[in-house]
Amino acid sequence: MELSIVHISDTHSKHKLIPKDWLPVADVIIHSGDISTRGYFQEIKDFLEWYSNLSQYTYKILIAGNHDFGFQDHPTKVRELLNDYPDIIYLEDSGVEILGVKFWGSPWQPTFFNWAFNLDRGLPLKGKWDLIPKDTNVLITHGPVKGYRDKVYNRYSANGESVGCEDLLKVVLEVKPKLFCCGHIHCSYGIEENENTIFSNGSILDEDYQIANHPNVFKINCP
């Protein structure tokens, strides 16, 4: 048996502009963070209403990203709101099992200015990655691992600079999830893989915050 998965990320309150025919029928949809511009309560509520109404998905998984301040600064209020949408599975250093496939989600990424869910590289971030269960099949974080779909481009680095997390890469290489989902680096949208893991950056918006990229679609074998 296969589990079909649609992966999106970094919609930044433009979710309603995604063409409907870009969102195919699947068992699971994953959003790997940055649903909003600044994580205002109304932005979060508007996204959850839209996400909940995607009837072509039986399971709807969500994590927060660095723009989603409400999840960090007002967790009780946001969790009360989430209670109104029981079909949405919100993961924050937590997991869920769907048809035998084990998902784990975490919003953290290396410190970048004063955004939400930022932690310094090294021990602070490693403490979060150490929580990831060794039997995880699908790992969802907002930021990428070092070396996979993590490059930023500017006039000083024409070939791109890898900005992903080294400690997260170490965990991924150890855990060997079938699928790793992230976003955060809009210009590194796309898919890569090694011998064990498919790496998906599902950023829907480009660097100019315009709808540009189709969702990534996968099928995962159930145990």
Q: What are the chain's domains?
A: 2-221 (3.60.21.10)
How far is Cα 164 from Cα 174, in angstroms, rounded to an integer?
17
| Exposure string for 36-46, b = 16+ CB within 10 A, e = fewer | beebeeebbeb
3-state DSSP call for residue 52?
helix
3-state secondary structure of 197: coil
Q: What is the mean pLDDT of residues 160-175?
A: 94
Residue 166 confidence class, pLDDT cut points 50, 70, 90: very high
* 121-163 pLDDT, tens digit each: 999 999 999 999 999 999 999 999 999 999 988 755 667 788 9
| pLDDT grade for 165, boundaries at 50, 70 and 90 | very high
Residue 223: per-residue pLDDT: 77
What pLDDT, on a 0 to 100 scale, did the predictor assign at position 153? 81
pLDDT above 90 coverage of the chain, percent: 92
Q: Kindly give the interhelix angle for 41-52 and 75-82, rounded to the nearest 10 degrees.
A: 20
Task: Give the per-residue pLDDT at 155.
Answer: 58
- Mean residue pLDDT of the chain comes to 95
* Assigned token pair, 182: 């992230």
User: Do 82 and 48 form a contact (C-beta atoms < 8 A)?
Assistant: yes
Q: Give mean pLDDT, residues 61-72.
A: 98
CB 144 within 8 A of CB 188: yes
**Sheet bearing 57-63, strands edge to edge:** 88-90, 57-63, 26-32, 2-8, 216-221
Give the torsion sign (CA, 166, 170, 173, 177).
Answer: negative
Confidence (pLDDT) at 158:
64
Q: What is the mean pLDDT of residues 156-183?
A: 91
Give the rounded percent of residues in the chain with a pLDDT score beyond 70.
98
pLDDT of 30: 99
Token reading at 169: 């890469």
